[in-house]
Chains A and B, each alone.
Chain A
């Protein structure tokens, strides 16, 4: 029989008489998509849990080689369906670097506004599903209600609520509609006061804190060694944010903090820190949106780019701070209409690697907390 990945994983398990091997997934309420965590446990205590990924592999990178440069844009939505704006932006930036074109300032600002709104909406889902994985179902619906407002705003901008396809090579597809600015500001006013209610409801709930504090502590070294990025890296106390440290687009113009895990409830890098970083990032994103709205420049929203661009042979890479960490697009051109190679490096995939090491000695409920705190999205892992 052919050696499958699953078989190889099971081969590594070799459970003793007291242990069982159990599959968390591919269909399981809290694996956040079709991922299988092959888990060896002794009762409630986990010996090791190995992620078996690939159930959602759709060959998106390969598709990128055959649909032309603008044609791949809608596929980037499907890479990370919760933060599609940011995935769009990364790909557009990579191709723009390949074409060596500069985009109008208004487009940069619109990308920043839409991207940060999308980050807020993604983080609402992240913290909401995390609460639901810990067993509290009410915060999830409240988080989704908050996200709904952003969905409405972005729908008004580009007509879509989930897979936006908003960025274009050279700019963005639609200009901000009339009255959009006021609607965003009204929402941000609500958001900043609502965060207090959210903290009372769940962030500072004693059961919730006890479930997350000191659980699956990822140290600074481990976080760097395993290549974690984004909120997962910052949760371990490392202040690294592509928006600030390798600024792109309109981000050099904005003042914002980079929240890092401080071990407020336990050790630095525990599940609560990774959670808290996301809640704080919601407020930081709100700050960025306010600044961008205040000085939104007038002008064109898209640069002049051919419908079927043929970049010079060469390669380009763009790194954006997606909601799940640094998202890198590496695009190689051979001078034709289609890319020679499209490669995406995503935060969720990097987060999968650390699960085996962290899972040792956790309890079953802690494994769920760990997976939730890493905030993975299955298509981003498998691509």
Chain B
């Protein structure tokens, strides 16, 4: 293979189509697979005892070594860095996914040059961002201006400590999981406020103040709505809430209890607002505030802000999936079965690893479905106004969330047969709505004689 000095990826893909296809497919599949697999394989070594057993098998008596804690800590750090890496990769891949979906929705093509389908464009974007000039306005507060993106980064990565990825893939299953997520993800707004203030720009200040008002307000309906599944499960632990649900839709909290379904919609709406996604992208409303709180940022620092924005979608989606949509629960496989398959040995059986991987996939698919929903909303809806955003929160979402909360208080006292019946009815209703939506979309498309699915320009 010749080495070309020009970075003209178009010619590279046309010159070596098979290599390009193979590389892209490799990246597309290998990156998430690798991250998941590493997390999964490292999992059995999460406990000091397991680590001891591995060392013993290798002929090293770690159990009585003076460095036992240090080794254990190192393994945890490596595991943690893989989780942090996941946020970066997810944010990058999502930018590509979002731009491709937006391209389709807007009857244009979107990035399709580097790699096949343009998949590698997010890597190119990241590299470009890193090499851009890091500009700090002369009148800005130098220290705070530099620090602001890291506040947001901290707010992004901390919730990943308790966000589950699969049946046993979780960094720490804290017994205050739900509270922990809401508390730490609010750190993002600190970054927004600090950046807006430190930029010493009126646009940035407007964005920051809007952001602060928005996130603080929407924490309340989100928090109350999250209490609904917490009450239904009787625990605040993320894994505990998922274990209280089941693999099939009528066992998910959202379709089990009518109040939980409403709470699900409230929580998703509120999380859109907390994540500054359209229709609540007021802090960075580009047609009003130019770029809002990050108007003065460039290069690596804006890359961090944008990464937070996109990776935050995983948190939004994963939280909703955990609380309302059954998490990683595999249909027809109960948690007891998984535990039986695991056995009592220090190291689990191979079949257990297989099931774990299925649970990872279930969770990822559900979360991605929600992420695509957020993308879809972003490219469809206009932006609300500040007062409308506040009115929606305080006049509708907060009372609505309270009503769901009260309803659930009584609902949990009802017998299990009622729960099952309402679950069945709600699932049927949701399926009916889905089918109706599909039929209506088809009718609308037929009306304007538009193309149904045209993948010719991929």
Contact = CB atoms under 8 A, between A and B. Distances in A.
A208 B278 CA distance: 13
A29 B288 CA distance: 8
A98 interface: no
Given A136-B381, A363-B385, A142 B106 contact: yes
Interface string B341-370: 000000000000000000000000000000
A196 interface: yes
Contact of A196 (B287, B380, B387, B447): B447
A190 interface: yes
Contact of B382 (A29, A30, A135): A135
Contact of B286 (A29, A131, A142): A29
Task: Give the contact-size bracket for chain B.
Answer: 20 to 34
A135 B383 contact: yes
Which of B383, B444, B447, B449 has the largest number of chain A CB atoms within 10 A?
A: B383
Interface in B278-322: 278-279, 281, 285-290
Interface string B362-397: 000000000000000001111111111000000000
A368 B447 contact: no
A247 B198 CA distance: 59
A211 B107 contact: no
B203 to A, nearest CB: 8
A133 B383 CA distance: 9
A211 B388 CA distance: 9
A208 B384 CA distance: 8
Contacts of B380: 136, 138, 201
A58 interface: no
A224 interface: no
A141 interface: yes
B290 A29 contact: yes
Contacts of A138: 102, 105-106, 379-380
B385 A366 contact: yes
Contacts of B279: 135, 207
Interface residues of A, number: 36
B385 A365 contact: yes
Tell me whether chain A's interface is mostly helix, strand or loop, or mixed. helix
B447 A134 contact: no
A365 B107 contact: no
Nearest to A189: B449
Contacts of B18: none
Candidate in B209, B210, B448, B450 with the most chain A CB atoms within 10 angstroms: B448
A194 interface: yes
A248 to B, nearest CB: 35
A190 B288 contact: no
A190 B379 contact: no
A366 B108 CA distance: 30
Contacts of A196: 447-448
Contacts of B288: 30, 364-365, 368
B202 interface: yes
A173 interface: no
B382 A202 contact: yes
Contacts of B203: 22
Contacts of A132: 287
A253 interface: no
A265 to B, nearest CB: 14
A136 B386 CA distance: 16
A365 B387 CA distance: 10
Given A197-B447, A207-B381, A210-B388, A20 B107 contact: no
Contacts of B385: 210-211, 363, 365-366
B218 interface: no
Given A30-B287, A364-B288, A365-B386, 12 more contacts: A29-B287, A43-B209, A135-B383, A141-B107, A141-B108, A197-B448, A207-B384, A208-B382, A211-B388, A364-B206, A364-B289, A364-B386
25 contacts: A22-B202, A22-B203, A30-B287, A30-B288, A134-B382, A135-B279, A135-B383, A136-B380, A137-B106, A137-B379, A141-B107, A141-B108, A190-B448, A196-B447, A196-B448, A197-B444, A197-B450, A202-B382, A205-B381, A210-B388, A211-B382, A211-B383, A211-B384, A363-B385, A363-B386
